[in-house]
Structure 1
Amino acid sequence: MPLYEGFLSSSCKLRVQKVELRVRKVELRVTKVELRVTKVELRVSKVELRVRKVELQVQKVELRVKKVELRVTKVELRVTIVKLRVTNMFLTPNFQVLFTFDKQSLHVPEISYSRDFD
């Protein structure tokens, strides 16, 4: 199916099958990216410390710890408010910069270009 098909005059027909656009250089300048995390909450519900043997002598002070065990059963990290502010971004029309945020990290940026030939 052609992208465009029409008559320029009664004897001249124009049909466009393919339009190819090549961009050699795209320049993106981001002068300031500001990320503010206002609240970080860390909860440790259980900390267990076991010392099997402690030996203390009067002539010589000796401390022997055979086994030290530290178990953290639950670690919860909550980021309640994430503010991302991008100022002074120079882009040509039809370019988009997508900032995605998931539970592990912030991915910056993903650049996409779109153009409609309607």
Structure 2
Amino acid sequence: MFVAMNRFKVLRENAAAFEAMWLARNSTLHQMPGFMTFQLLKGSEEAEPMLYSSYTLWARKADFEAWTRSMQFRAAHDRAEQRAPLSIGQPQFEGFEVLQALSAPLAPREAAE
């Protein structure tokens, strides 16, 4: 598995607009082979600038790389370039190969559903 993360630094006065932009977007990640999950992470509200991170989990690094070359990727990022910037500078990319993954077992009721 491969984790792709982008770290964003956002001034507190832009935080609500930054969150609204992400929550209102029309994501096409689910259309991509190997895509597993996405999370938008929010750091401490006391920090200035505030930190956010987008987190995606892919079956393989090659699946993530295919996403970065896709028409869906270009469309998503073209829209981003048309907006006024809400973060400070460019996001910082971090990519990780997953060496170990642990999950909580399903409770008996959840397993039956």
Band the TM-score falls in, shorter-chain normalisation: under 0.3
- Which fold has the larger relative contact order, with Cα–Cα distance below 8 Å and residues 6 or more apart in sequence? 2
Bigger helix fraction: 2
